[in-house]
Amino acid sequence: MALVDLLINIPEYKISVAHFQHGLRPDSEQDQKVVEDFCAQHQVQVFVGYPKENPPTANIESWARRERYGFLKKVREKENLDCVVTAHTRDDLTELFLMRLLANKSLRSMEVFERERRLLRPLLETSKEELSLYCAANRVPYRDDSTNFDNRFFRNKVRNQLLPVLRESFGSEVDQILNTQLKAIDQDIRFLDERVLADLNNCVKSEWGTSGWLVEVLDLLQRSSPAVRWRYSEQLLFPKLHYRVGRKHGERLVNFFLSNAPEIELPGGFALRRRGGGIKLIKSGEPF
């Protein structure tokens, strides 16, 4: 709500508000009412979305994120808006660093602006405490999500259990230290991404998935350092999947490319299958 109030006070911006109703809490309709009432008061158009399917029994966080961002993208495209703006804060960066570290994932950070997704995060240098103070000072209504206190969720364990211990043991500056390190690591990763993409553009010129493309990919992988091969594989799939598979699956892809295996399962319900001397991206379980 703080973000909405900030944006409506910038005359140059014409905004619409999108609220996604996950339906995971009995009181979630009250969140929707707060948003709708505030937007009506300020004559701001509001769109409300609902999940296309029931939540799964496991990995609810990923499901909710996928449904939410799918809705935001749909609203942006339908209403011909410039970008999606979210209220991620400095605290979210701290939590992200620890979550990815503990989950053995790439320590890639959030960008202020993701050009491909047209996603803007203008508050990454602002703390949640600062936003709370802003809301109190400007009488901006907001609601706490009760699921944020449910420590069965990974993010909440980091937020409610791990971070308080770190702050108590090492001082409040621990957030700044973690964010500084995350930013430095992220810069290194993005530099490597640029080098990997440049190599692929120079060495792999055939149409994606064709036999000629596969020959060029094999040649590049075979003469590359094992330390960087998985990054080539990840980047090769990124334009098709629109998400990064990470090191674990990147290394699996390398083994697939360099072997005679007929098929490899990928995260997200996809698979790669050898066909006609080349490679085809398919939905998992698609018959031969």
Residue 268 has a pLDDT of: 81
Residue 172 included in any domain: no
Residue 208, domain extent: 204-283
Phi and psi based region of residue 139 (left: phi greater than 0; alpha: psi -120 to 50; beta: remaining): left
Q: How far apart are CA 285 and CA 269, in angstroms?
A: 9
Q: Tell me how far apart the alpha carbons of residues 231 and 251 are, in angstroms, rounded to a whole number.
A: 8
Residue 39 falls inside a structural domain: yes
Residues 44 and 115 both lie in one domain: yes
Same structural domain, 117 and 214:
no
Per residue in 113-161, pLDDT (tens digit) is 998 899 999 999 999 999 999 999 999 998 888 788 889 889 999 999 9
Quote the CA–CA distance of 192 and 194 in Å, as a whole number. 5
**Inter-CA distances, 140 with 136, 143, 166, 219, 274, Å:** 7, 10, 31, 59, 56
Residue 214 has pLDDT above 80, yes or no: yes
Residue 62's pLDDT is what? 81
Q: Is the pLDDT of residue 53 over 90?
A: no
Q: What is the DSSP string of 196-229?
A: HHHHHHHH--SPTTSHHHHHHHHHHHHTS-HHHH
What's the rounded mean pLDDT across residues 204-215?
A: 96
Number of domains in the chain: 2
Here the CATH number for the domain that contains residue 114 is: 3.40.50.620
Answer whether residue 193 shows pLDDT above 80. Answer: yes
Is 191 part of any domain? no
pTM of the model: 0.80
136 and 17 housed in the same domain = yes
* Integer angstrom CA distances of residue 151 from 57, 111, 148, 167: 16, 27, 8, 18
Average pLDDT over residues 65-71: 91
Residue 285 has pLDDT above 80, yes or no: no
Look at residue 288 in the predicted model and tell me its pLDDT.
Answer: 65
Q: Evaluate if residue 251 carries a pLDDT over 80.
A: yes
For a pLDDT cut of 90, what percent of the chain falls above it? 74
Residue 247 included in any domain: yes
Is the domain of 10 the same as that of 135? yes
Same domain, residue pair 144 and 35: yes
Q: Is the pLDDT of residue 240 over 80?
A: yes
φ, ψ (nearest 5 deg) of residue 39 = -70, -40
On the question of pLDDT at 104 being above 90, the answer is: no
**47 and 141 inside one domain:** yes
Average pLDDT over residues 31-58: 90
Both 144 and 234 in a single domain? no
